[in-house]
Structure 1
């Protein structure tokens, strides 16, 4: 395996470990063990634990943005409603990737903790990536901040229900699944 491939496997493993145990609760040893490398090798790929967390956080947000972008493929101006439904449907599918949604939540907690301790640099690249995702969604909705906020609120509620461990057949999910059963037009037809 090349160094780039090994680095990728570390990022994926870190998303799982940090998502499940948070920044403080995750050891670099656990990440190395999940990947099947030694801890010293891990530090040849990344300078420190914070760099691993940052890479995992940015990958998580990037993967989320890709889900949104893929859902929007083929939609154009005048199809904001259909595009919104496609985004909602695509994001609901992320419930199956619990680790990714938990990593999102842990990212927000880690940035908040860093900010509270006076470290304003740690969150800068994460805020930039999140703002990029927000701006992409804002563009979809023609600059409508209210609709954009509505969709991000929808996503955060999904993240929260996943983090709280509600099973998908629990009544708190009912509104999501009913909407997902609605017909989403195929933009390629």
Structure 2
């Protein structure tokens, strides 16, 4: 049987990112182990410096097994980084959907709910692993532009869109006046998460918790002082 006959089912999505279809539970488990060890190696050494031999040794598999699951080093890198990015954000839309924006009747309640969502978003995007991923994607952006595009689309889907939905609800309740909800979501993120994200990305000694605390409440207050309907 040829190597191509024994490979797992591999495909790519419309962004050129690998789609993996495991044949069975054992295959999926082995792939998860390879992905975990590969991500650790890429974190430490980047794409060029990472060794497939080291990944195989850490995962306790052979190099042909890695290539059977991921085809080549490039698809291995794309696959494991894309999965890690998606996993870091996956709880945010669930949280946003559970927050009672439809029951808000005053400014203080509105501010508290926005802070709950943005605190969770800050925890997701400012965690050590996701910041390390951010540095990795930035460093490899020229070689793998599809990862940068994926990051942007995940931010839109997992953070911007839930905020836009919350803004629409708060507008219906007569609390906000927002002519462009997409722009407003980007502005709120910039005021609360964007600056600390920039700081911790390039200053590794900075505490992520301290960086977020400095911006969260004041950023929401500044945002609401402009968009609250009664103040316009």
Please tell me the root mean square deviation across aligned C-alpha atoms, in Å: 3.4
For residues 104 and 9 of structure 1, do their structure 2 counterparts lie closer, same or farther at Cα, with a shift above 3 Å needed? farther
For residues 179 and 65 of structure 1, do their structure 2 counterparts lie closer, same or farther at Cα, with a shift above 3 Å needed? same
The structural deviation recorded for 1:7 is: 0.9
Contact 2:135 / 2:201 at 8 angstroms: preserved in 1? Answer: no
Greater Cα offset, 149-158 or 18-27:
149-158
Once the two structures are superposed, residues 157-178 of structure 1 have per-residue CA deviations (whole angstroms, 9 ceiling, x without a partner) of 337516642153xxx8535236
Superposition map of 1:55-66 within 5 A:
55-66=79-90
Contact 1:71 / 1:83 at 8 angstroms: preserved in 2? Answer: no
Q: Which runs of 4+ in 1 moved over 4 A?
A: 76-83, 94-97, 178-181
For residues 141 and 73 of structure 1, do their structure 2 counterparts lie closer, same or farther at Cα, with a shift above 3 Å needed? closer
1:148 aligns with 2:200: no
Contact 2:122 / 2:193 at 8 angstroms: preserved in 1? Answer: no
Separation in 1 of the partners of 2:154 and 2:197? 21
Q: Which runs of 5+ in 2 are unaligned?
A: 1-24, 105-109, 165-180, 218-232
Q: Which runs of 5+ in 1 are unaligned?
A: 115-121, 182-189
The structural deviation recorded for 1:10 is: 1.7
Separation in 1 of the partners of 2:157 and 2:124? 21
* Residue 157 of structure 1: aligned partner: 196
For residues 67 and 156 of structure 1, do their structure 2 counterparts lie closer, same or farther at Cα, with a shift above 3 Å needed? farther
Contact 1:98 / 1:162 at 8 angstroms: preserved in 2? Answer: no
Contact 1:13 / 1:35 at 8 angstroms: preserved in 2? Answer: yes
| Equivalent residues, number | 171
* Residue 120 of structure 2: aligned partner: 90
Contact 2:37 / 2:59 at 8 angstroms: preserved in 1? Answer: yes
Larger Rg: 2
The structural deviation recorded for 1:43 is: 1.0
* Residue 104 of structure 1: aligned partner: 134
1:27 aligns with 2:51: yes
**TM-score, length-normalised on structure 1?**
0.69
2:40 is matched with which residue: 2, 5, 16?
Answer: 16
The structural deviation recorded for 1:94 is: 4.5
**TM-score, length-normalised on structure 2?**
0.58
